[in-house]
Structure 1
Amino acid sequence: MGFRKKTNKNPPVLSHEFIIQNHADIVSCVAMVFLLGLMFEVTSKVAVLFITVQYNFTISANGLSEESVVNHFHHGLKDLATIFFYMLVAIIIHAIIQEYVLDKINRKMHFSKTKHSKFNESGQLSAFYLFSFGWGTSILMSENFLSNPVSLWDGYPHTLMPFQMKFYFISQMGYWLHALPEIYFQKTKKEDIPRQLVYISLYLVHIVGAYILNLNRLALVLLVLHCFIELLFHVSRLVYFSNEKRQTGFSIWAVLFVLGRLLTLSLSVLTVGFGLSNADQQGLDLANGNFNVLIVRITVLATICVTQAFMMWKFINFQLRRWREQAQAQPVKPKKLQAPKTKSKKDKANGVNGVSSNGADSPRAKKEKSS
């Protein structure tokens, strides 16, 4: 299946241009190999590692009926194979959105090269943040994390997760890993590569760290909050590209961004600083997934605080640059020409037009006096 339009000039096979033009087809073939592996008994055991969520753990509430059986999952090294497969899926979905949605809009709007790249970035991230926010909210509602905030730290370590929560984190890690090869596939400009590497690394560090340290409940709440704020920003930018006069969304986003940073810090300090420090299970126990020690708590809080401070610094610079651009874009108002004043009888008598009526100040009066 072809996701990108092929140019008339066929690049050499396995060249850089060939891989970039056909990367979606190549990745689709690789993903199809894993799916076909499920059909054969010899390869099915290996293919299952890549496609299905691993480390199933069955919990029976009463042990009497099948309805009381609940499947939960924990994490392990086999998750790397699952993350790799869903990274391939993310590359395919990225190509579908780009080819069948964003490229068609770009051809109609005739954006410049700068707006073209920013529009593609916001289009892709808007779809991802919308999906992440909706899916994460449904998990929060089903698990009652919002109605019972104590559950964010009560019963730590939270080594067991329901299927939806574990699959959510697998998808998040797969998506942000797929963003690394997309830098090459999308021919990202050299000056934009450091910025993208920074925010991709920040996402991976926080998500993987929370996943390994069994802080998945706190991470889920913070991810849903963050995705909502970022969704508003990228939707506002898409609206701005269609009509530059529509900038109300940026003002709303600016307020929510600051509130989001404060809420993130508050929840982090409340959960890690106070909740876990007073938890029953203290100490480092790798076998049971317990990382509730002082050094880990300080490291987690320091990482979150530094990240929030970095984001606020970038936000302030963005706002200052935006206000500066708006000030430069405003046209200079021309000075109003004053209408000539009507001459009074006294002025007419002295023959003055904008000059003082004192006869000593009149050049004509001085000339007559000298003669």
Structure 2
Amino acid sequence: MAFRRRAKSHPLFSQEFLIHNHADIGFCLVLSVLIALMFEVTAKTAFLFILPQYNVSVPTADGELIQYHYGLKDVVTILFYFFIAIILHAVVQEYILDKINRRLHLSKIKHSKFNESGQMVAFHLTSVIWCLYVVVTEGYISNPRSLWENYPHVYLPFQVKFFYLCQLAYWLHALPELYFQKVRKEEIPRQLRCITLYLVHIAGAYLFNLTRLGLILLLLQYLAELFLHVSRLIYFTDESNEKVFNYWAVVFVVTKLFTLTLYILVIGFGLPRVENQALDSEKGNLFSFLFNNILFRMSVLLLVCLFQASVMWRFIHFQLRRWRVYWNEQSSRKRATGTNRQTRPFRRDWGYYENGVVKVENGISPRTRKVKFP
């Protein structure tokens, strides 16, 4: 991180220099934007990077309310928080995860997975708390009908728009982090697929004005992911703690059922009741018009159901394989324990034991010998 001592210097503009100093470069760019706020000439430009744009005054019964909608200037704001995400990623890695890794002495593969889960725990925990605060204060949980009433939801509160911009910035920053963290080639396709799915879903909810539904779905998804990565961290510290994955399995199934129910409730039953079914460019519902079309809406719902079914199938297949391995290990341990506990006394067909002395059937002992039992 910035202003720390380095054990080895690398040539300027080399790949190693960029990898080891990417957080410092991002810190300098963020600092330059913050310094620009101090001068009147550059303050207006700096505010484009820091604050969400496209604010409008919406008349309400109590007066006027400042709300926001999306536009091309959001790219500039996302870029600023993109560099902030890189800085925070480096802080968590160096000052928390690296110190823990030095004590655990993990292998290379486990070291990489531990870092991945550690970063995900920090991000998912922050996102769950933040997202829960937003949906509670905006009343989306107490009033589920607000998820589809007055659709399209073109105007957003400040905290909703800022949350979506930060989410997009974080998942975009995860792409260059694959290079900065030197992720193994075998892991890159899986992580790229995960990042792409998050970006498509978050950007889709933001552009199609489904931000309220997207907040609830992100809360459920991040909650399940939080339990998964916490279980992985506990398992890496002590491999005997395999039962922690059972708690994640329960949370995963429950969240997926809630996710599928919300999709059917909002897209299948809620949106068809919206009165505004016409295309109106002045109100900003160019993308929302597609969801007012029954063919498009049913196609989206079908794709969502198929995707959730494939996720559940992979989860069930993984759990069955995991339980099969677990029971095979348990049965092999029982067989090994039973074999060690068996006593094998020294005995001949022509005699028997009496007080540790071998005797024949007529009571005469051919020789006196003590038998040692194992």
Same topology, TM > 0.5: yes
Query: Counterparts of 1:47 and 1:242 in 2: how far apart (Å)?
Result: 44
Query: Counterparts of 2:113 and 2:279 in 1: how far apart (Å)?
Result: 45
The Cα shift of 1:303 comes to 3.9
When structure 1 is superposed on structure 2, of 35-44 and 116-125 the one drifting more is: 35-44
Under a length normalisation based on structure 1, what TM-score does the superposition of the two structures give?
0.86
Letter in structure 1 aligned against 2:38: M
The Cα shift of 1:182 comes to 0.3
Query: Is 1:223 aligned to residue 218 of structure 2?
Result: yes
| CA offset digits 1:138-182 (Å, max 9, x no partner) | 111111111111111011011111111111111111110010010
Verify the 8 A CA contact 1:28 1:92 in the aligned structure 2.
yes
The Cα shift of 1:4 comes to 7.0
Query: Counterparts of 1:229 and 1:94 in 2: how far apart (Å)?
Result: 21
Verify the 8 A CA contact 2:97 2:118 in the aligned structure 1.
yes
The Cα shift of 1:324 comes to 4.7
Q: Corresponding residue for 1:22?
A: 21
Q: Percent identity?
A: 50
Q: Corresponding residue for 2:209?
A: 214
The Cα shift of 1:12 comes to 1.3
Q: Corresponding residue for 2:171?
A: 176
Query: Is 1:337 aligned to residue 342 of structure 2?
Result: yes
The Cα shift of 1:59 comes to 2.7
Q: Corresponding residue for 1:354?
A: none
Verify the 8 A CA contact 1:90 1:174 in the aligned structure 2.
yes
- Aligned-partner SS, 1:179: helix
- Aligned-partner SS, 1:132: helix
The Cα shift of 1:62 comes to 4.4
Query: Counterparts of 1:117 and 1:181 in 2: how far apart (Å)?
Result: 16
- Aligned-partner SS, 1:283: coil
Query: Counterparts of 2:244 and 2:105 in 1: how far apart (Å)?
Result: 23
Q: Corresponding residue for 2:272?
A: 277
User: In the alignment, which of 130, 142, 145 is matched to residue 125 of structure 2?
Assistant: 130
The Cα shift of 1:307 comes to 3.1
Letter in structure 1 aligned against 2:49: F
Verify the 8 A CA contact 1:283 1:293 in the aligned structure 2.
no
Structure 2, unaligned runs of 5 or more: 354-359, 365-374
Verify the 8 A CA contact 1:4 1:22 in the aligned structure 2.
no
Query: Counterparts of 1:185 and 1:235 in 2: how far apart (Å)?
Result: 24
Q: Corresponding residue for 1:79?
A: 74
Verify the 8 A CA contact 2:55 2:66 in the aligned structure 1.
yes
Query: Counterparts of 2:109 and 2:327 in 1: how far apart (Å)?
Result: 21
User: In the alignment, which of 60, 84, 92 is matched to residue 87 of structure 2?
Assistant: 92
Q: Corresponding residue for 1:260?
A: 255
The Cα shift of 1:60 comes to 3.8
Q: Corresponding residue for 1:246?
A: 241
Query: Counterparts of 1:4 and 1:238 in 2: how far apart (Å)?
Result: 28
Inter-CA distance 3–323: structure 2 relative to 1 (3 Å threshold): farther
The Cα shift of 1:5 comes to 6.1
The Cα shift of 1:328 comes to 5.8
The Cα shift of 1:301 comes to 1.9
| CA offset digits 1:323-352 (Å, max 9, x no partner) | 3543565554332535558849xx936x9x
Structure 1, unaligned runs of 5 or more: 352-371
Q: Corresponding residue for 1:348?
A: 361
Query: Is 1:49 aligned to residue 48 of structure 2?
Result: yes
